[in-house]
Structure formats: structure tokens, C-alpha cells
Structure 1
Amino acid sequence: MGGCFSPQRGSESKADSPERTQIAEDETAAASEIAKLEVMHSEIISNRGQEKHTHPQIFTYKDLYAATGGFCADLFLGEGGFGKVYKGVLDNTKQEVAIKILNLQGKQGDNEFVTEVLVLSKLHHTNLVKLIGYCVDGNQRLLVYEYMPLGSLKSHLHDLPPDKKPLDWNTRMKILAGAAKGLQHLHVNVDPPVINRDVKCENILLGDEYHPKLSDFGLAKLGPTGDDTHISTRVMGTPGYCAPDYLESGKLTVKSDIYSFGVVMLEVITGQKAIDDSRPKAERNIVEWATPWINKRDFHKLADPVLNGQYHMKFLLQALIVAAMCVDRTASRRPHISEVVAALNQISDSQSRRKWRSSSSRLQPVALTSTQTQTSIEDQNQAKTKDQGDRS
């Protein structure tokens, strides 16, 4: 893996990217656009080699009530900012689905509902959750997704019940690599880019064989175009995952998603929560907790204890470096998503091919021998020290 990432896109441009999906700028929908959703069915957006475009189905409330057995408690899957989620089976196809019901008294409303429908109707990728359809029936707003049988990434990392086996290291890296590819599709293959604004473990869903898909696009925004470097917007997202530059200025860029993904990486590697009130006040944020250990190069202390040392130190080191670069406080120093994907693919592919030696040789902390790796950490620490000096 390369030790340093360029913060710029380099030669990439719209002219160089014929595979970009086109999305009209006026599709940052408002509540009044709900009535226009049917018109959307006549619009076909090519994904240029990605999954075939399919139009979302329109359901009645009666359809979805029947699919869930009257929203039976036994089929309840969970609850988020949008509302409650139930498992259902569609009468016409017998397909298993997940059905979200908008909480009319909740924080999210018609605007988030429409944004979710528009984004997922236009964008299709193997690492984005599929929208099957939606329901606009009176004041009822429901979304119907493909059912992801293994639930959220969060449910496999935190507060595991005694009978639930923790994710092994290889599976964790596979999940991160796949989730990064979904984010890459949003940032690179879409024009203008889509900024998710709510990348977190809870919004990475797992299918068979732990195949990851990004979900929940209700807070998504279209990114800057032309000479614009950012869009100014009200700060939205989840505490612990929001980039500090976005929190402080309201200036949103694709690098805001990169920071959030870096937090996800730290959670996956360490098993720690993004925000944990049980830690000392100065370390409640996972970035603040992990950074001193990374700077001291005590990398083995950052690995999730439930892994029981079942990982190779080289790959732990590489993954932590990528995560640390993603959560850099300065947006311009964070890597481009394509560089993150390349790095995670290399980690995932290398470890899947590797034949483990005896456990005694692979589980002990090792001295750093990669000059490239040491340089990348030192460069990052020097840059942070310089920033702190400039601010003081």
C-alpha cells in the first residue's frame, strides 16, 4: 500500500469521466414534490455498466399493512431517525422486504422522504441498498427496500449478545472495502457528486456473506459543481461522525463523507463506539481516543480485543493509517475516496491470499520496517503540529 495519499483528484474531470451518472440539480426535493414522484417513472438514468435501472413500485398503505401482518411486533427490525422498520413479504412476488414508516412526529419529514426516493431511484450499485418502492397514501409515508438479512454493521460490533459471534478481521476488511466502493460510486460516478452526510455503522447494512450496502439517503445533498468548492448548508448528521470543518463552518464537501467513513473504520478496527460516555471526557469521541495511540505507534492496543489477536500486524497498521488520514481535521489532507478504495482493496486482497504462519509468529507486535509507512505517520503528525502552532 502506498504510504501517502494526494488530497487532490489530479487529472480527473467531467470530460475524463464518461461513466458518470447525470442528476439534475433541481432534485434536492422539497415536500411539494411528492406529487411529482409518478412523473419520475418516465425518466431513465443510465448507470453506465452498473446495475440495470428499475423503476420503484408504488404501494398503498393497505399493501404494506398486509405485507407486515399489520406491522406485527414479531416483524419489527429496528427504529431510526426516519421511523420504525419492519420485515415484510410482498403478496404479489413473495419477496422479503424491509419497510420503513415515517414517524410523523419525528425529526425527519417529507423532504427526507423525497430525497431518499429520488437518490435511490436514480443510483444503482452493488454496494447501495435497493429501493423497491414507496407509499404516499394520505399522510402516510413508507419506503420499501430489499431485505438485508444480517442487519446493520453496528449490530455486529457493539453490545453483542453472548451467543453472537464477533466479526473476524478478514470479514471486517471485506465490509469496509465494499462500503467504500458504494461511497466511491456516489462521489465519482455521479455528476454532480452525491454527499451522503450520514455515513455511519448503523447505515451500512449486510446481506448474505456479509456483503455491505450503504443505506439511508434522507440527508443526502448534491455536491458542488463548476468552480464551487463546497455547498453551504445547515449542519446535519450524527454526533461523532460529522467532520469538524463541516460542524464549524457549514461548508459541505465530499471530504465530509471521508471523515465519517474514517470514523467507521476506527469503529470496525477497534470495536469502540463513535461516542462513548464511559470513556474519560477528553476521549469520548473515538477520534480523540484513538489518535494518541496512533501517534505513539501502539497499534496493537487499538485492535478490537474480541479479535483475540487473529490478524496480521502489517494489515492492522495499514488499515489504521488509512483511517487516521480520513479523520484528519483538515479536509484537504483527507484522501480521495478512490484512494481509500484502492488501499482497502489491497489490504483485503492481500490478507485473503496470505497463508498464515503459526499463531505465535503472527500475533506479536512487530517493529515498523516500512519506511513509507513511517514517513506517512510522521508527515501527518508534523502537519498537525504545524496546524496547532498556526492556530495558537
Structure 2
Amino acid sequence: MSTHGAEKLASLLLLLLCLGRGGAQESPPTAVKFTPADNYLIDCGSPNSTQLGDGRVFRSDPQSTSFLSTDQDIVVSADGVGATPILPLFLNARVFTDRSSYSFDVSKPGRHWLRLYFYAFACAGYNLTSSVFSVQTDEVVLLYDFSPESPVVKEYLLAVADDRVSLVFVPKKGSLAFINAIEVVSAPDNLIADFAHGIAPAAQFRGVSELDLEVVCRLNVGGPSISPANDTLGRTWLPDGPFLKVPAAAQSVAVPTQAVRYADDGSVTPLIAPSTVYASADAMANSNTEDPSFNISWLVPADATFSYLVRLHFCDIVSQSLNSLYFNVYINELMAASTFDLSSLTSGLAIAYYKDFAVNATTITNGTLLVQVGPLPDSGGAPPNAILNGLEVMKMSNAAGSLDGKFAVDGSTKGVAMMVVSRVGLGLGALTLAAAAAAAAALCRSRKRPEEWERKNSFSPWFLPLHAGQSSFMSKSSSSSKIRSFRSRFGSNRSRSGYSGVFSSGSIGVGRIFTFAEIREATKNFDEKAVLGVGGFGKVYLGTQDDGTKLAIKRGNPSSSQGINEFQTEIQLLSKLRHRHLVSLIGCCDENNEMILVYEFMANGPLRDHLYGADAAMSLLSWKQRLEICIGAARGLHYLHTGASQGIIHRDVKTTNILLDENLVAKMADFGLSKAAPSLEQTHVSTAVKGSFGYLDPEYFRRQQLTEKSDVYSFGVVLFEVLCARPAINPALPREQVNLAEWAMHCHRKGKLESIIDPHLAGAINAASLKKYVEAAEKCLADHGADRPTMGDVLWNLEYALQLQDAIMEHPEEGQEKEDSDSLSKGDEGYAMINDNSAPIAGPLFQGR
């Protein structure tokens, strides 16, 4: 089924169920009640109240004017009502030709359902089918340039923090907006937990309670549709049939609802899902396949620019005895739960259980989210089986405060003005940004390089803070205001406002103020052939001065607000810091309302380009060179952590942010995400999670508490990336090998690390040097920051590893004898004495990956 087809079918089924026309025999409501503190039900445009078949009464429009803020009073009704087999809520609408809003008092902040009903019916005077509009609350954009056609119900679960929630409708210029009905209803406090199990990386993810959610689908797997009248919280559950990838792979099983039990500890109640959901399931069927270990798969439409909360409901209604059902759960072909044993989790059969998973956007491909359950590869002789009872998929709001990826900003009109929403405690929101960074990196690598380019290897955007996804999305007016505020903070001695004040200040290191004419001449009038890379803030150019000195010139796009925070952070940091292993900020240009920063040019680009990729073989680095580069980067980070009056946390350590000059001297770059380290009275900095997928500290990811040890973890990933010459994340590999940190640690524990080391290093690594290096990397990757070394300790170990390598290169025979003795006495069978002049002493010769 196509994504579009599944989405359309889901909308139609949702509509049918709301109508109470699902046609399936439903069980009576579960004997549990929840009385919402807030319960606003409005039939917009209707002259009278409307009662649905489930007993709910929607107030008429005249009764709802106290909630409405608008200068208009336009209500319309559908033509040909008698021939329209739809819910009464879709027969009337309120129309807006200008910005208008509904506001509702909230008696108790917390989770609230928001359901919006849309149907562009035919009516006199207004063409609803041509309407284009946006909908937002005080905190989040729900819909952007939305144009509903067939009847649809949009359902959200908002995290309301204030005593009032507003719903704003903004028609596109020349168009109109409309709404048929609105529900704003309190949800139970414990309906959505603050944490979920993360998928890639596999770590606990916290911060869900601060996010707004959009319900994508809610499936009663293996069972009939469930209408709001038969759900404990007025929810609609769809049959899962249309979402099954291979329907023949699943067979429905069911028991009476009375057979379902809920946990005595109250962890799962009928408010999580009614017993009807747990009383049915899909189990493995005989699908005429030769492989008895096939998976049952569900495909759900998904937007690859957002992360998702996936809730899976389980209830073992198929087993005859405890501990007889073991299976795996996969999401987007990544292991979500291994050897899943419901008996051990519930201590019984037919007991309701659920598990939440946080799925980051980088794992989503082809516009779908794939959920699978399947048996273990070795079932120990037991018949292979796997089950799923219910599936809920909810989109998470992103760092820009949006639930609709189709947003743009136009402050000159009355369009939606996107604000920076720091309320995202989302590690996955940050990880989503890595996908945008990777895409931008690929684009930059594909750009044609200047004719005078000395090197032939790929040159990824080594300079750019590629975090477009997490940058501020604001209107032009707010962007200009922020730029003015930013410039005013630095002051200026000249009529044009800009950076000059910060560079001319005596308290700051020497910096040059370039004229715009000098910048234009250096870049040959910003020649596109001189573009090194492109980011959300603008472009980076290769510039050449009259004396031949090359510069890296970052030019901000004045019409874009993206990257302004990063500009501000970099200029604040780099104008005060000077170190041999930090990229130097040379100066700036602030003429003509330009935002231009000038850096030293790093001729050999990013470290990653020398490790892997199509052109890496042209600039192979020896083991000694790699050690020296890692030592240089470690010195730069150590200086950041300890050299300033208050330490600085880089927060985006990776091989693309370690740049190499013409002598292969490593320097840390891209300080757009950097943060001041905690003071002596603090243990951490609480902040929304940002960074790059594959390098992110799992403790920071779980707790949103940033420390210097977060940089240490990322550097540990870099060390293995240097050793193995492969990306930190490679989705093309088997799922257990996708994450380099996890795979390298696994191989190290199994004594098989040599199997994944860069084959170009075979015959050139001293065993003691390798051991000390791997020891440092392993300690960096400790799960808890308190167990990781400082960057000073890491630096010491790397320098010692270099000394060991130098010793064997200068005295190979003595080194061999020493290593022979050390290896035999310590039993280091996992390491080899690899030297151009000797055979392995202990362990196998590295044979590559």
C-alpha cells in the first residue's frame, strides 16, 4: 500500500468510526471512569447544540462566543444535507477570512486532547475546498498551509503548561480558514510517561512530558474497530488490516474481554487502553513461506523530519503456560526489544502490558514507519510465534515548536510566526537534526570546487555549523529584531552597527575589521565556484588576499534568521580564545548590514575526509599521523574545558569538526552549539539535547544534563572512527553494526576488535600502542559520565600511545622483545604485535573488516 493510500484510508476509517458506522460488534465499555477537569465540545457554526450517539453534547456556536476572538461572524451550512451520510458535526462550519482564535481556560495544566474536525462541504457564498490556512496554539504550530478536502479529524495530545490555551486560525493571503468542530478535553496525568526507550541509540529517553504530540494512528491489532463510546477516554481505534505489509503473515486471535487482567501495581489500567484492545491480537500465521521466522509487519505513514513516540500494547492470550513465548520487536528494522518475554514482565498470562519507544527521524525512510514482531532465530524447538495487541504512533513536536513539517515563515504578512521553543527536552529532536546535517554535508560535497583547489579529495562542509533543523524559525521581522539585538550587544564605534566593537575592544584579542570591498575582492565577488559549503545561515567561501593568504569567509544571509545564535556563540567564544588547536577567528566585516566572519583556512579540511569515502585512499593517514591528530584535537578540547576562566563544553565533537591544516595539525572547529561549563556550585548544565547522531552522550540524552564528560563520550566515538575508518552511524550495515560505538565495544568485549580495524593499518600498529589507545576510547564511552576520564587523562593516554608507537618504530627489535614479554605476561590475546619487520606475537594479524 502506498503512503498516500494508507493515510487516506486511515482518515476514512477514522471518520467512519467517529460516525459510529464502523459496523463491527463492540464490547461494552470497560468499567472504569475518568472525569476530565476540562471538557470543551463545540459544534462550530451550528445554531443548536448537537448530541452524538455516544451521548456527548457539543455546544452550539451562539453558546460558544465567549471562547471566540474575531471581528467576523461567518457561519455556513452544508448544501444537500439529506444526501450527505456524515457525522452531524460536519454539517456546519465557522469561516475566517482573517486571523481569529478560540481561547479556553484550563483548570489544571497538563495533558489535554485537542481534536479538530474539518470537512470542506459545498455551501453558498464560500468555496471551502480552496481554503488554505494554518492552525497553531500558544506553543506549537499544528497545521501549516493546510487544505482539507475529505472529512478528517486531526487529533493532538498537548502538553499545556498555562492556565489558558488558545487555538489560532490564520488564513493564507487571499484565502480563508474554517473549522467544523473542536474538542479540548483533559487527559489523565499518567497517560504519557516522561520517558521512553530510545531507538538508535538504544538508551532511555526522557522529556516526553514536555512535548506536544499528534496522533498518527491508533490500531486495535487483530480486533474490530472501537468507537469513542466504547473507549475509556473517548478514543477511536482502527482495525490494523490496512496497515499490514503482508496480511497473510498474520492471523487474528481473540479471547473474551473478561479474560484480560490489569497489573495489580496500577502500572497499566483501562485508561491506557480498554480491555477490548488487549483481548485481541495478531499472531504469526502460515503464510506459505519457506522461512518459518518471518516477521509480522505494519507500515504507518511518517514524516522523515519528525521523531515519533510508538506505543506497543501486549497481552499474552496465546500461550498455555508461562515462559513459552519469546520474540523480538523491531522498529524501522532496528532492534527495539530483544528476546521479549511477557511472562517475566507481567508474571502471568493475559495480563495487559505496554511499552513506549522513541523513534528518531533519521531512521525513517520512504515516508513510512515500520513496526515488526518476529520469533527468535533459535526458538529452542518451540513453535515460532510473536504477537501484538495494539499500536499507537504519535508524532513529536520538534525544536522549532512545530508538528507540521511544511512550515515557512513570513512576518510581513499575517502568516504563522515560528518561535524558538526551548521546551523541547528531546534527545531525538536533536538527533533529527543530524539527518539534516548529513543531507547538507552530502550536498556540499557534491558542489564543484574552485579551479585553484589544491586537493582532489572530497571536502565536506568542514566549516559550517550544520544544525539547520534546530535553528530558530522566525518571521523576517523577528529575525531583523534579533539581528539588531545581537549587534547592539556587541556595540560599535562606527555609524554602521555590527561586530567591529567586539574586535576593536581592548579586552579582546587582535581582530581585523575587513571592508566589504576587501571581502568581495577576496571571493571574486562571491563567486559560486569559491563556495566551500552552504548552511542555514548562508555560505562559506574560499577567499584569497593579495599576498596569497587563503581565508575561510562565512557570509550570513540577511534574509534568514538561521544560524544567528551560532554566529553569536562563535564570535563570543573565538574572539576571546586563542589556542594552537582551535580554529582562529581572524576578523569580520559589518558593512552594508552584512554578517561576515573570517577564519583561518584549513587546507586539508575535515578529519573524516581522510578516513573513509571515495577519495580517502588518496590521503591515507599512517597510525602515527592519526595519533598525532587525535592528540591535537584532545589538546584543543582540554583547553576548552580547563583553559578559560569558566570551562566551555563544545557539544558537537565529531570528525567533521576536527580540521587539518597544511601540516595535518588538528584544530577544533564549529562552536555554534557550545555552552559554558557548570560552575563550581553546579554539577551540570540543564539544557535541551543538541548534537550529532552517533556521537551523543547517552547520559546527556537521557537526563538532558550537560557536562564536560559529554564531550569526552563524543571524543571516544571519534577515536574508534579514526581506528576503524568508518562512520559513527552507517545504516547500510546489519543492524547490530549500525552504531560504531556499540559495535566496537561489542567486538572489543569478544576479543575481535582486530576484525573491524582499518585494513590500511595492517602491519603498522604496535600492540602496546593499540592497547593504550583502545583503553582510552573504551573509558570515554562509559555509560555514566562519572566513570569517564577527563580530557586531560585522555590526552595523557594518547600521548603515551604515541610514545609506544615511536619506540617500536625507532627500535623494532627491542620493541618486539618487550611486547612479547608484556603480551605473554598479561594474556592480551586480543591484540597483535603488528610491525613491518615482524610477525604477530600474540593474537591474529588484522585482516580488515
Same fold (TM over 0.5): yes
2:693 paired with 1:239: yes
Partner of 2:627: 173
- Give the distance between the partners of 1:250 and 1:135, measured in 2 at CA: 36
How far does the alpha carbon of each residue in 1:192-215 deviate from its partner, in whole angstroms, 9 at most, with x for none? 101111111111111132111111
Alignment RMSD, CA only? 2.8
Partner of 2:75: none
2:517 paired with 1:62: yes
SS in 2 for 1:208: coil
Map 1:1-392; keep pairs closer than 5 Å.
31=483, 32-35=485-488, 36=490, 37-41=499-503, 43-44=505-506, 54-79=509-534, 83-91=538-546, 94-102=548-556, 108-138=562-592, 140-161=594-615, 164-354=618-808, 355=810, 357=812, 368-369=823-824, 371=826
Contact 1:235 1:246 in 2 (8 A): yes
Change in Cα spacing, 1:281 to 1:81, as seen in structure 2 (3 Å) is farther
SS in 1 for 2:555: strand
- Give the distance between the partners of 2:703 and 2:589, measured in 1 at CA: 36
AA partner of residue 40 (structure 1):
V
Q: Which has the higher contact order (CA 8 A, sep 6+)?
A: 1
- Give the distance between the partners of 1:332 and 1:232, measured in 2 at CA: 17
How far does the alpha carbon of each residue in 1:75-113 deviate from its partner, in whole angstroms, 9 at most, with x for none? 33334565432211134x542111123356878421210
- Give the distance between the partners of 1:106 and 1:248, measured in 2 at CA: 32
Q: Which structure features the higher share of strand residues?
A: 2
Contact 1:196 1:220 in 2 (8 A): yes
SS in 2 for 1:114: helix
Q: How far off is 1:136 after superposition? A: 3.3
SS in 2 for 1:205: strand
Contact 2:551 2:598 in 1 (8 A): yes
SS in 1 for 2:637: helix
- Give the distance between the partners of 1:81 and 1:156, measured in 2 at CA: 26
Q: Which range moves more in the overlay, 107-116 or 334-343?
A: 107-116
Q: How far off is 1:121 after superposition? A: 0.8
Q: Which structure features the higher share of helix residues?
A: 1
- Give the distance between the partners of 1:156 and 1:118, measured in 2 at CA: 31
Contact 1:206 1:213 in 2 (8 A): yes
- Give the distance between the partners of 2:536 and 2:784, measured in 1 at CA: 29
Contact 1:205 1:213 in 2 (8 A): yes
Unaligned runs of 5+ in 2: 1-481, 491-498, 830-849
Unaligned runs of 5+ in 1: 1-29, 46-52, 375-392
Contact 1:157 1:166 in 2 (8 A): yes
Contact 1:126 1:213 in 2 (8 A): yes
Q: How far off is 1:300 after superposition? A: 1.7
SS in 2 for 1:122: coil
How far does the alpha carbon of each residue in 1:35-60 deviate from its partner, in whole angstroms, 9 at most, with x for none? 31433335555xxxxxxx73222234
- Give the distance between the partners of 2:749 and 2:598, measured in 1 at CA: 45
Q: How far off is 1:312 after superposition? A: 1.5
SS in 1 for 2:618: coil
- Give the distance between the partners of 1:342 and 1:263, measured in 2 at CA: 18
Contact 1:131 1:146 in 2 (8 A): yes
SS in 1 for 2:801: helix
Rg (Cα) greater in structure = 2
- Give the distance between the partners of 1:162 and 1:345, measured in 2 at CA: 25
Partner of 2:106: none
AA partner of residue 153 (structure 1):
L
Q: Which range moves more in the overlay, 102-111 or 266-275?
A: 102-111
How far does the alpha carbon of each residue in 1:228-270 deviate from its partner, in whole angstroms, 9 at most, with x for none? 0011112111111111111122211101111111111110011
SS in 2 for 1:213: strand
- Give the distance between the partners of 2:736 and 2:611, measured in 1 at CA: 23
- Give the distance between the partners of 1:43 and 1:373, measured in 2 at CA: 57
Contact 1:75 1:86 in 2 (8 A): yes
- Give the distance between the partners of 1:246 and 1:372, measured in 2 at CA: 36
SS in 1 for 2:582: coil
Q: TM-score when scaled to structure 2?
A: 0.37
Q: Which range moves more in the overlay, 251-260 or 154-163?
A: 154-163
Contact 1:300 1:365 in 2 (8 A): no
Change in Cα spacing, 1:329 to 1:107, as seen in structure 2 (3 Å) is farther
- Give the distance between the partners of 2:704 and 2:756, measured in 1 at CA: 31
